[in-house]
Amino acid sequence: MEFTEEEKEAIRYIMDESHTDFVFRTNVLDYFAEILREPLFKTHDGIDIYEGDAYWYINDNNDAVQVFTATGRACGSLQFSCKETARAYVYTTVPVYTELNILAAVNAYSMSAVTIEEIKNLLQRK
């Protein structure tokens, strides 16, 4: 980890025991403790999660998005930094309709019967 000149000077100041400014020493130590702490895990969307942070996860059935406060090991099969990215993942990756649902919907509005193979071929061309 690379420190700025101000951070190096603050470290030198803290290490010099002749300084007895308790509030300053405490604030600086808290600052460095925050910088140096390790994340518990990284979310699917690439954000580090620390103890006490809120994150969203998708359950193992891929059908619910729930909020959780980080205390240790990640909960759920996939974790996200916010509700919107979790929902976007569900909406774009989890199948909502079966082939039979699609076939029934297409045939309900079509003048001629369509097969599932025709639908698959159409989708592959797109």
Give residue for tokens 């604030």.
27
Beta carbons within 10 angstroms of residue 65's beta carbon? 19
- Residue 46 — very low, low, confident or very high, per pLDDT cuts 50/70/90? very high
Mean pLDDT over each residue of the chain, to the nearest integer: 76
Beta carbons within 10 angstroms of residue 57's beta carbon? 20
Mean pLDDT calculated for residue range 27-51 = 81
CA angle 92, 93, 95 (to 5 degrees): 100
Q: Which two tokens stand for residue 116?
A: 């599932």
Mean pLDDT calculated for residue range 41-55 = 88
pLDDT tens, residue by residue, 5-27: 887 787 777 666 666 666 666 77
CA distance 49 to 56: 11
Q: pTM of the predicted model, to two decimals?
A: 0.51
pLDDT tens, residue by residue, 90-116: 888 877 777 777 778 777 777 677 777
CA distance 6 to 124: 58
